[in-house]
Amino acid sequence: MGTYMHSDFRSQYRDANVRKKTSGSLQRYERACKTLAGGVSSGLRRAARPYPLFFDHGHGSQIVDVDGNAYLDYTLAWGPLILGHSPEQLQGALTSQVAKGLTFGAQHDLEYEVSEKLVAAIPCADRVCYANSGTEIVQVALRLARAITGRPRFLKFEGHYHGWDDSVLVSYHPGPQQLESQTGPVPGGIGQLESRAIIAQWNDRDSVERAFAEHGAEISAIICEPMLCNSGCISPVPGFLEFLRKVTESHGALLIFDEVITGFRLGLGGAQEFYRVTPDLATYAKAVGAGTPVSVLAGKWEYMKWIAEGSVVHAGTLNGNPLCLAAANAALEYLAANGGAVYESLHRRGQRLRDGVRKILTAAGHEVTVTGEGPAFGVHFVGHPLRNYRDTLHIDKAKYADFSLAMLDEGVLLLPDGRWYTSTAHTDDDVDRTLAAVEQATA
């Protein structure tokens, strides 16, 4: 709240417009703040401008707020809605499961029906197991890696996000001063236990080799987002994932792809299929449930047998609950139809959108770098390519905040960090309307 210094994209005019038409959201936000800590259910949602909006319903590519404003949605609930909002493909499966039972805490048919689909789709999967969130399932993967290797630590990359557990919420978005003053992992906030992570730089082989030279005997695994979606949607440079595959093999460590975002988004087989590098373990938690809270660890039998035999503990009251698995089952069936043909149009439309956005912004005189792929890409006000988190520190984030406010006023909902997600529900007409909105925002 308050006034803004930046005049790009006529931000004061846009701010006034958006406030005028979203007064119902502001009222609700103020009411929620009185009983709900921060007025939101996840800390990151507080960053929204001019204040967090309240939504009433969504259908396909559109979401509608409590004041009746409809937006073309490229946030997709921070990624899960690969089929768009309230997809028809899932409605029947969910309502019939509601009538049959919400959860059993015991075995049912959907568990193996979904695991069969997952094993068929994911290159590294001989077996899978379920949990409820990405944060949880990453912890299962890291515990498994420690058990298998007998080593206590893991390597993660600066800027990569693997959930909010103390062990992994380090060196995620450290500020320039923290980077100068702190050596070792930088905690995301106070109150965190010390992490055993070893930090390296994305797309930088030397930093990985140095880490293994110094700590090789302690490193159980490398974990990474195979496309760095949480810091700029930065793709791996050619050969980098192959290098990670080799270096882990030669040091007896595991390679874990955190596919919470890329899974069932870059393709049916996720990033490992898209980049043709197969990790030992992979984690999933967004598109796999198409909007329901389910997460998955997939891995080779030689590793997953430790969970199968029970020596590595994996538990959870709501794991594999039938409601989420009914959604996952219907979503996976839709996505896998005709050999995953739907991904071709997902990439093609996303590509047209990202090219169009870049062209319009560039023609309007802005320095823009676009990263990522059609189904998940980043738009950044910066004049050089991005290789890793440190490069993202040069992005003009205040300018992007002004741009996304102007887009909101034009009826397009964007995430605050430059990330755009597309769904199978977005149409060519949606792309045209979005590009027209970008024209208006830059006018």
In the complex, the residues that contact ligand PLP under the rule CB under 6 A are 133-135, 138, 161-163, 225, 230, 258, 260-261, 285
Cβ proximity of 343 and 270 under 8 Å: no
Q: Is 165 a catalytic residue?
A: no
CB atoms within 10 A of CB 384: 11
As a whole number of angstroms, the distance between CA 56 and CA 220 comes to: 45
- The CA distance from 226 to 314, in Å, is 24
DSSP structure class, residue 317: T
Q: Which residue among the candidates 286, 389, 399, 409 is catalytic per the annotation?
A: 286
Residue closer to ligand PLP by CB (options 50, 267) is 267
CB 314 → ligand PLP: shortest distance, Å? 16
Between residues 9 and 172, which has the closer beta carbon with respect to ligand PLP? 172
Give me the torsion for CA of 51, 64, 327, 334, rounded to 10°: -120
Minimum separation from the CB atom of position 284 to ligand PLP (A): 9
* Joined tokens for residue 124: 């590294």
Closest distance to ligand PLP from the beta carbon of 78 (Å): 6
Are 369 and 384 within 8 A, CB to CB?
yes
Chain centroid, CA 374 distance in Å: 14
Q: Give the number of other CB atoms < 10 A from CB of residue 310.
A: 8
Write out 128-143 in H/E/C secondary structure: EEEECCHHHHHHHHHH
* Closest residue to ligand PLP: CB criterion: 134
**Smallest gap from residue 138 Cβ to ligand PLP (A):** 6
Annotation says 396 is catalytic:
no
The answer to whether residues 141 and 307 touch, using CB atoms and an 8 Å cutoff, is no
Distance CA 51, CA 12 (A): 14
Minimum distance between the CB of residue 229 and ligand PLP, rounded to whole angstroms? 6
Residue number with CB closer to ligand PLP (284 or 400): 284
Q: How many CA atoms lie within 13 A of 58 on its CB side?
A: 23
Contact at 8 Å (CB) between 66 and 32?
Answer: no
CB of 247 to ligand PLP, least distance (A): 21
CA 232 – CA 378 distance, rounded (Å): 6
Of 145 and 431, CB closest to ligand PLP? 145
- Taking the CB of residue 86, how many other CB atoms lie within 10 A of it? 16
Least CB distance to ligand PLP at residue 331 (A): 16
Whether 161 is a known active-site residue: answer yes
Q: Which is nearer to ligand PLP, 288 or 361 (CB)?
A: 288
Residue from 8, 258, 391, 430 carrying the catalytic annotation? 258
Closest-CA residue to 375 (of 428, 310, 332, 419): 419
| Choice between 228 and 431, CB closer to ligand PLP | 228
Between 50 and 378, name the residue whose CB sits nearer to ligand PLP. Answer: 378
**Residue 198 three-state SS:** strand
Active-site residue among 51, 71, 161, 275? 161
Residue 366 CA to residue 352 CA, distance in Å, equals 19
Residues with catalytic annotation?
Answer: 161, 258, 286
